[in-house]
Amino acid sequence: MAMPSIEEDEMEDKVPLMSGHPTPVRSDIKEAAFENHPDPWGKGYKELYCICLLLYLNSTMSGFDGSLLGNINALPEFHQFFGLDKPGMETGLMFSSVQMGGMIGALFLWLADWKGRIFCIKIGSIGVILSVFLQANATDVHSFIIGRFALGFFSTIACKGSTMFLIEIAPPKYRGTIAGMYNTLYYFGSLLATTAVVISQRDHPDTNLAWQLPIWYQMICPILVTIGIMFVPESPRWLMANNRIDEAREIIIRFHANGDPTHPIVDLEVSEMVEDLKSSGGLMTAASYFDISTLFRTKGRRYRVFVLVCMSWFGQFSGNNIMSYYLPQMVTDVGITSTHTKLILNGIYAIVGWIAAASGARLHDVFGRRKMLFGCTCGLVVCLTVITAAAGVYSHTESKIMSGTLVVWIYLFGIVFALGYTSMQPIYPAEVMTNDMRAKGMALSSFTSGTAGFVNTAIAPIAMATYGYWFYGFFVVWDILEATVIYKYFVETRGRTLEELDDVFESPNPALASITRRKTRGA
């Protein structure tokens, strides 16, 4: 896929900062930097892409875990070992304990400013390895849940550290592509998890290795990251904030200018980082991190926080967790009982989701955030309505036609969700934050999504056992509410600098201002 370019007429004499906030720069330097941009396939860029691929493994690790428990939960060997005869509170805690750990882990993201982005990636990856060891050697449900909690805690630190690092080390021209690709690798991890469970169950039937081996495989990505990260330099922005200016400059020269210290992009980016640090007051400390007053100082900032919280909650509470975590149980409810078939269906679900997510990353830049999120949420309502009806008819008739219909619409739901939400989950919350709000805002986003995931997965087993197909109907109503909120309150951010968004959020009706201004500009 070709890298998207940044048009000069859209920049309005501004260049995206490493932190994402625009600062005035000399127009002659800016023009020289972008008219003669370094070769994106030069030596320095190729080294940068290798670093990105290494950090993408953390997204793959997250996707592996997101699918792993849903897959091994379909294995009778797993249920027999832990005594899980039917869905209940213990099953819910197995799933939700990861979200609980992630919520707590979000409170420690200030370590990225104190010790550095690389420190968080390294510590988080090592912690994930230890967490996997706890899970694979668990002797009862409670010790398994502890391992799951620890994994959620450390994976949040590793993944958020990776996201911050990628945003700060990526050249401004390609930052969007790099950020979007990171999140789509979640589906690759999901596919690997399904494959691992299928192979283990086939080669070791009726033994504990059927579910233990896939858990051990979860160590592969964090081990590779732990080893590889030792050869990766720190974020240039973090180095600059710690008065290590020469080191930061050398990184820009190496990765953004292909080793050419005279290229104008070097002076451009270094000057931007300096100005950004002056305007923002530098990085956070452990004490200032918990001062959340900056998030609510004005009406416009409170509106930003509202949009961030909504997007973070919607991304975990639109019915998607039920589909991905409990797909094996759902297909059992409609007559598909073969364990091998269930796992194959999970794998196909991951593949189509990956394709849809990658496509959605591009379509958000074509049609805009509001149209994509609103349209896809309406699509989720349609999918869930058909799923609820098909499950209801099957429960009374056991019709094979309804069985096939339900499975098809479960897959369509996954495609629609990935198309609209997957690539935007880490990007849109960051876009609606100002520079001094962004770190705290992303921690709040992580905490919110973790809370939503915890509530969702904790109650799902009980609700599905108690209410059956009517539980799917709840999300029909909820997604209608989501679509209403998106239409009424979400702002359009496509093609706008953060300076333009300041005007949008300070207007009486930010959502209306965002689309009215777009029409005025002829976009």
pLDDT (tens digit per residue) in 253-281: 999 888 888 888 888 778 867 765 665 55
Q: What pLDDT score does 373 carry? A: 95
Name the β-bridge partners of 15.
23
Whether residues 186 and 302 fall in one domain:
no
Residue 496 has pLDDT above 70, yes or no: no
In a domain, 190, yes or no: yes
Comparing 42-46, 224-228, 391-395, which segment has the lowest mean pLDDT? 391-395
Whether residues 354 and 483 fall in one domain:
yes
pLDDT (tens digit per residue) in 309-346: 999 999 989 987 666 555 665 667 666 777 677 667 76
Q: What pLDDT score does 244 carry? A: 87
Q: Where are the alpha helices (DSSP H) in 36-116?
A: 43-72, 76-82, 89-106, 111-114
For residues 346 and 194, the answer to whether their CB atoms sit within 8 Å is yes
DSSP 445-487: HHHHHHHHHHHHHHHHHHHHHHHTTHHHHHHHHHHHHHHHHHH
Looking at the structure of the chain, the number of domains it has is: 2
Q: What pLDDT score does 425 carry? A: 86
d(CA 434, CA 303): 12
Whether residues 308 and 195 fall in one domain:
no
Domain boundary among 216, 237, 258: 237
For residues 318 and 374, the answer to whether their CB atoms sit within 8 Å is no
Dihedral angle sign, alpha carbons of residues 410, 412, 415, 417: negative
Share of the chain above pLDDT 70, in %: 80
Query: Residue 77: CA atoms inside 13 Å, Cβ hemisphere, count?
Result: 18
Whether residues 213 and 358 fall in one domain:
no
Highest mean pLDDT among 12-26, 40-54, 319-333: 40-54
Q: What pLDDT score does 508 carry? A: 92
Give the pLDDT band of residue 284 (cuts 50, 70, 90).
Answer: low
Whether residues 221 and 299 fall in one domain:
no
Domain boundary among 237, 253, 284: 237
Domain boundary among 190, 215, 237: 237
Structure tokens at 284: 């956070």
Comparing 2-11, 124-133, 189-198, 433-442, which segment has the lowest mean pLDDT? 2-11
Whether residues 206 and 333 fall in one domain:
no
Which is higher by pLDDT, 321 or 2? Answer: 321
d(CA 101, CA 151): 7
In a domain, 3, yes or no: no
Whether residues 198 and 304 fall in one domain:
no
- Between CA 39 and CA 44, with CA 41 as vertex, the angle to 5 degrees is 85
Q: CATH number, domain at 201?
A: 1.20.1250.20
Q: What pLDDT score does 323 carry? A: 63
Burial of 415-454, coded b for 16+ CB within 10 Å and e otherwise, reads: bbbbbbbbbbbbbbbbbbbbbbbbbbbbbbbbbbbbbbbb
Highest mean pLDDT among 394-408, 425-439, 440-454: 440-454
**Mean pLDDT score of the chain:** 80
What range defines the domain where residue 74 resides? 38-237
Mean pLDDT of 104-121: 87
pLDDT (tens digit per residue) in 133-164: 999 999 888 899 999 999 999 999 999 888 88
Q: Helices (H) and strands (E) in the chain — how many of each?
A: 24, 2
In a domain, 199, yes or no: yes
Structure tokens at 289: 């991190």
Which is higher by pLDDT, 12 or 381? Answer: 381
Whether residues 162 and 51 fall in one domain:
yes
Residue 17 has pLDDT above 50, yes or no: no
Residue 392 has pLDDT above 70, yes or no: yes
For residues 147 and 132, the answer to whether their CB atoms sit within 8 Å is yes
Residue 169 has pLDDT above 80, yes or no: yes
For the full predicted model, state whether its pTM sits above 0.85.
no
Mean pLDDT of 195-209: 89
CA 344 centroid distance within chain: 24
Q: What pLDDT score does 450 carry? A: 77
Residue 295 has pLDDT above 90, yes or no: no
In a domain, 370, yes or no: yes
Query: Residue 20: CA atoms inside 13 Å, Cβ hemisphere, count?
Result: 24
Whether residues 60 and 139 fall in one domain:
yes
In a domain, 369, yes or no: yes
Whether residues 193 and 338 fall in one domain:
no
In a domain, 275, yes or no: no
Whether residues 358 and 233 fall in one domain:
no
φ/ψ (deg, to 5) at 24? -60, 140
In a domain, 65, yes or no: yes
Residue 205 has pLDDT above 50, yes or no: yes
Burial of 282-316, coded b for 16+ CB within 10 Å and e otherwise, reads: ebbeeeebeeeeebeeeebbebbbebbbbbbbbbb
Mean pLDDT of 350-371: 83
In a domain, 277, yes or no: no
